[in-house]
Amino acid sequence: MLPGWLERQVRGTLERRLHADVSMEGMRVGFEEVRMTGLVLTRPRARVELPEVRFSWTWALGRSPITSKPTVRAKGGALRAEPAALRAWAEEVVAGVVANPAAGAPSSGTLSLSTFVNVSAVRVDLSALDVALESPGAVSAPRMVGELYAQGIRGALDVGVRRLEVEVADRRPITAAKISTTVALSEDGLSLPVTLAIDDASAGITARIFAVDVRGTLTVADAKGERVSLALSGGLEPPDRTEDPKGAEPVDVAPRGPTGGAPLWTLKANGTRDLLTGVMDLELANFELGRAPQLLARLPLVDSESATVGGNLHFERAGEEIETTGNLVLAGLNIDHPLLARAPVKGVGFRAELKASLNPGQESVRVESLRIAREAVELQLEGALRWPEDVGGRAFSGTLSMPSTSCQAVLESIPDQLIPGLRDLTLKGEMAVDLRAEVDMANLDALELSGSVNVRGCAATDLPRAVARLGGGFVHRAMMKDGRIRGIDLTEQSMAWSRLEEISPSMVGAVLTTEDAGFFRHRGFLGSQFKTALQRNLRDRRVRLGASTITMQLAKNLLLSHEKTLSRKLQEMVLTWLLERTYSKQRLMELYLNVVEFGPRVYGVTAASEHYFGKIPVELTSLESAWLALLLPSPVIRYEHFCAGTPSAAFEVKLRRIHRLMHSRGHIDELEYLLWKDAPLVFSEHHRSDREACMARRGAMLAGRVTQRAVSGLLQAPSSEPQKDASAPGGETLPPPPPAADVGPRPAMDVAWEEAG
């Protein structure tokens, strides 16, 4: 047992020098060594536990009669602290050492500048402490764990952390194999600047991209660490996947281990520690994506090893605003994503120049200028974006413009896979774009969408064959959801074809009421519908309405497919413009009514009139016309009302409402309205005599997983070759369409079934 006074003296000396409460399990004192076990240093929100510390010295003659060469050794243990508390503790200890530079006797417990220090394998945990150690109140501190080491003599201390891991709530983890520095202490204080060397670090940039192989330096310029500078470089990789210890889904974690190779990016920054002032430059080497194979594998890309990316960004911050300028160049990307197109979109690339201001505190961006160029086409965007976590607080306003540009150049700037049906289209003339949008999620009623896409100067020099044939008779072949093909003879001799004058005017009025009230007034596009669709989609936070006019629906049904891709929408827009410039409104309405789907395996108003009511189109009443028009948004789903023999109560209300609107908008006269406004809707029994079979027909079509498309449209294979439909089971081979010359009059309803494969 040590004398109590000696233990109290040692403990008091340590408390004064280390600025902490000290306790220990035991202590042994020798002539040249003090060994302490179970040493614990405690401060508010900080604690150090060391299993064993040896303070030793050797006696020698020096300038003073007797001097010592003190040594401190510690191995193992743990440090837990809130980062801010640890920083304050370190500042007090360093100030104390510098204030007592003279060597002293070991009994005094003096830590001098000549003390030899060797500390290793101390587990570090810098985070918010548990309730027993911290003061009340939430502590929003990161969690940092690693292994501390320190070694030094005569005023120089090599110190660092190995295997560092940092976690911050709602942010990406940071890891480092080693962060180290040499701290120089002198009688004048801490020798500045202090430079931390960073080796093999990684940090999450987004949920799918990590900066890896990060190496470089972090330099602290002043004693309080308020001025810092960075010089880093590294690579890019996706996160690793690991099993959740709780047995849930696999989770993303920081990549482990260096990937090697020259750095793909460099970062230089200089400013204050709180990042409120300073500058930063980020440069991306013009590297091939094959240099980051793991990242390449996680992106929606195919055969893009030779694709390149490069550019630079300059950030300058003063206060809340961060001024940003820079440029980016992408080339050779082959993107494979179901929302773009059915086939990989090849050769994607562009040049971009940016000038913007960011406000992280307000979660907003102001874009002064964003210029995007691809080949001969240049777009310019200006605007502002507010993007808080709360969706209701988000807002956007901006303008998109394109100066007068060759129409052909615009067409050629679009990758072929986005417009496969328009590859042979050639245009003359010029076009310009000037669009403006203003969206506030908190007030969607005030949404603004305006501007113009001036394509009046454009004209097609030669129509695609599938478009040119629409002026005469042809056979339309539609792939249905169940994988079978419906052939519809739309030649003049066909019993399946009805000229517009052979269709009840009330049928035309009905589709104008339900589908496109301004059809005979607009040129294929209706700005108010785009605005309404955008409001509805944003309010529901999913795509519900597509702002399709009758001409757009005709382009989709007769020439394209029902796939929900950007490719289809782009082609639909171009074809709508082309159809409106080529054919009269009467011809477009005539084609629409003869090809549109009215139910499972029911295409065209001629087949629909016979199927539902046992009539020809000209005999349709206004109520029957309203029924047929009301089917169009979901003809297969709504077929159940026909199978039931009468509309449901809710559907009956919709039917009568459409009928009233037809009257109020002048599509039917007073006598026609009064005649049918209270009359029952009576179906023909010929196709629905067996309700179970009727519902089975509906169910079989709903169960289909094939994307509906026009086999005889712009997406068909050459007529001399068999066609394959990738969406059909096994990609079945389909027979080529019969040549137009072979199509003659057919009996009955002139429809044909063809099995896919």
The whole-number average pLDDT for the span 237-264 is 62
Name the residue with tokens 């042979």. Answer: 424
Range list of β-strands (E), 609-697: none
Q: For 252-265, what is each residue's pLDDT tens digit?
A: 555 655 555 789 99
Query: Is the distance from CB of 623 to CB of 679 less than 8 angstroms?
Result: yes
Cβ-Cβ contacts under 8 Å for 382 (sequence gap 6 or more):
367, 368, 369, 370, 398, 399
Confidence band of 120 (pLDDT split at 50, 70, 90): confident
93-107 pLDDT per residue, tens: 767 665 654 433 333
pLDDT of residue 658: 97
Mean pLDDT, residues 75-84: 84
Residue with tokens 């328009």: 422
Q: Between the ranges 5-19, 147-161, 505-519, where is the mean pLDDT highest?
A: 505-519
Beta bridge partners of 29: 34
pTM: 0.74
Q: What is the DSSP letter of 469?
A: G
Q: What is the total residue count of the chain?
A: 757
Distance, in Å, from the CA atom of 37 to the CA atom of 40, rounded to the nearest integer, reads: 9
Half-sphere exposure of 584 (CA within 13 A, CB side): 4
Coil, strand or helix: which one is 197? strand
CB 743 within 8 A of CB 496: no
Cα distance between residue 143 and residue 368, in whole Å:
38
Residue closest to 234 by CA, chosen among 256, 257, 267: 267
pLDDT for position 536:
82
What confidence score (pLDDT) does residue 59 get? 63
510-534 burial, b at 16+ Cβ within 10 Å, e below that, comes to bbbbbbbbebeebebbbeebebebb
Q: Which residue has the higher pLDDT, 139 or 307?
A: 307
Helix (H, G, I), strand (E, B) or coil at 55: strand
Residue 48 has pLDDT above 80, yes or no: yes
Residues 6+ apart with CB under 8 A from 569: 546
Q: Where are the domains of the chain?
A: 300-462, 473-519+585-754
Four-CA torsion 185, 190, 194, 196, nearest 10 degrees:
60
Helix (H) or strand (E) holding 750: none
The type of residue at 708 is Q
**What is the predicted pLDDT for the residue at 239?**
76
Q: Cα–Cα distance between 14 and 22 in angstroms, integer?
A: 7
**Single-letter code of the amino acid located at 417:** Q
Could you report the per-residue pLDDT of 205-220, keeping only the tens digit for each?
877 788 889 999 999 8
Report, as an integer, the average pLDDT of 481-508.
94
So what's the pLDDT on residue 255?
Answer: 60
- Measuring CA to CA, which residue among 351, 354, 363, 283 is closest to residue 324? 354
pLDDT of 280: 92
DSSP 8-state secondary structure symbol assigned to residue 146: E
What's residue 735's pLDDT?
39
**∠ Cα 280 282 284 (to 5°):** 175
DSSP secondary-structure letter at 301? Answer: B
Could you tell me if 431 and 457 are in contact, meaning their C-beta atoms sit under 8 angstroms apart? yes
- Any idea which residue has 């009301």 for tokens? 630
Angle at the Cα of 408 (from 403 to 414), degrees rounded to 5?
85
Pull the structure tokens for residue 122.
């101390």
Give the neighbor-by-neighbor strand order of the sheet with 485-489.
709-710, 475-479, 485-489, 751-754
* pLDDT tens-digit series, residues 498-534: 999 999 999 999 999 999 999 999 888 877 777 887 8
Q: Phi first, then psi: what are they for 623, rounded to 5°?
A: -70, -40
Place of tokens 């979901």: 634
Better-scored residue on pLDDT, 271 or 623: 623
Average pLDDT, whole number, for the chain?
A: 83
Q: For residue range 388-403, what is the model confidence (pLDDT) as tens digits?
A: 988 899 999 999 999 9
Continuous H helices in 171-278: none
What pLDDT is attached to residue 66?
A: 47
Pairing relationship of beta strands 277-288 and 265-272 according to DSSP bridges: antiparallel
Highest average pLDDT, of 15-19, 270-274, 490-494, comes from: 490-494
d(CA 38, CA 197): 32
Q: Given this model, what pLDDT does residue 107 score?
A: 36
**Least confident range of 98-112, 492-506, 722-736:** 722-736
Q: What are phi and psi of 695, to 5 degrees?
A: -70, -30
Backbone angles phi, psi at 224, to 5 degrees: -90, 0
The rounded distance, in Å, linking the Cα atoms of 418 and 709 is: 16
pLDDT per residue as tens digits for the range 309-360: 999 999 999 888 999 999 999 999 999 999 899 899 999 999 999 999 999 8
Q: Report residue 8's pLDDT band, with 50, 70 and 90 as the boundaries.
A: confident
Write the single-letter amino acid at 633: P
- Which carries the bigger pLDDT value, residue 735 or residue 211? 211
Q: Which CATH number fits domain 473-519+585-754: 1.10.1660, 1.10.10, 1.10.3810, 1.10.3470?
A: 1.10.3810
